Amino acid sequence: NLQPKKARLNIQISFELKSKLSKLSAFQGKKVSTLVRESIEEKLEQIDKKIFEEKMKQAYQDLAQENLKISEDFKYVDTENL
């Protein structure tokens, strides 16, 4: 069982957020640190997904522009042999 090495991180949060975390911790039966870690992981996954989607969108737009250019380059080829 290879566990990844862990690093300690100290953060400051509002009393309100700490209270919400404590209540959720008790409700879900998880440690506050586990909830924080899971929340960070989820947020990072959302950001990674958004970045990936933006890159794909740009790639599709670039490809569409290239296809239009190629279409323009061959616009008159169909009529050359008539």
Which amino acid makes up residue 8?
A: R
Residue-wise pLDDT tens digits, 29-43: 999 999 999 999 999
What's the pLDDT score for residue 80?
A: 59
Phi-psi region of 52 (alpha: psi -120 to 50; beta: other; left: phi over 0): alpha
Report how far residue 21's alpha carbon sits from residue 39's, in angstroms, rounded to the nearest whole number: 11
Question: Both tokens of residue 22?
Answer: 């404590």
> CA-based Rg of the chain, rounded to a whole angstrom?
26
| Farthest-apart Cα atoms in the chain, separation | 80
Q: What is the pTM of this model?
A: 0.67
**End-to-end CA, the chain:** 72
What proportion of the chain, given as a percentage, has pLDDT over 90?
Answer: 70
What's the pLDDT score for residue 79?
A: 63
Residue 60 reports pLDDT greater than 70: yes
